[in-house]
Amino acid sequence: MWRTLGKLGQAAWLCGNVYEAAAGVPELLVAARERRSPGLLAVGSPLRYFAPIAPFAIGATSVALARKWRTGNKTAIVASAASTAAAVGMTGYLVRTVNVPMLKGESTSDEAVARWHRINYARIGATALAAITFHWATK
């Protein structure tokens, strides 16, 4: 059960990150600043679609990896845990430095939007690596 929940959470997280990159979510938030109410849970907030999957993407993944530690492929377990932690760290940085100011309606520079995209591409890679190594680790 934990493996399935972890896989679903990771797939949703990866798809969400790819969607944000393809749709240009930071640009959409900046463009809609005049028409949307500021707030972390206001319309357009990524928190609305990421908050429900976080327990699965992080929690279920962690439980499944911990349960496989004694019998599983330790290299794959460590790789999955490390890449998940890297993706979580990048997410935290982006939320703190770019997303929250945008969602609160504060001005955001073009450099912040460009930084968001660069880090999001790295986050997509880390999330994809986490999903692949999670599959290997929990076979």
Per-residue model confidence as pLDDT tens digits over 57-94? 899 999 999 999 999 899 999 999 999 999 999 999 99
Average pLDDT of the segment spanning 32-54? 75
Per-residue model confidence as pLDDT tens digits over 8-25? 999 999 999 999 999 998
Q: Model-level pTM?
A: 0.87
Judge contact between 20 and 121, C-beta under 8 A.
no
33-49: b or e for each residue (b if 16 or more CB lie within 10 Å)?
beebeeeeebebbbbee
DSSP 17-65: HHHHHHHTHHHHHHHTTTTS--STTSTT-THHHHTTTHIIIIIIHHHHH
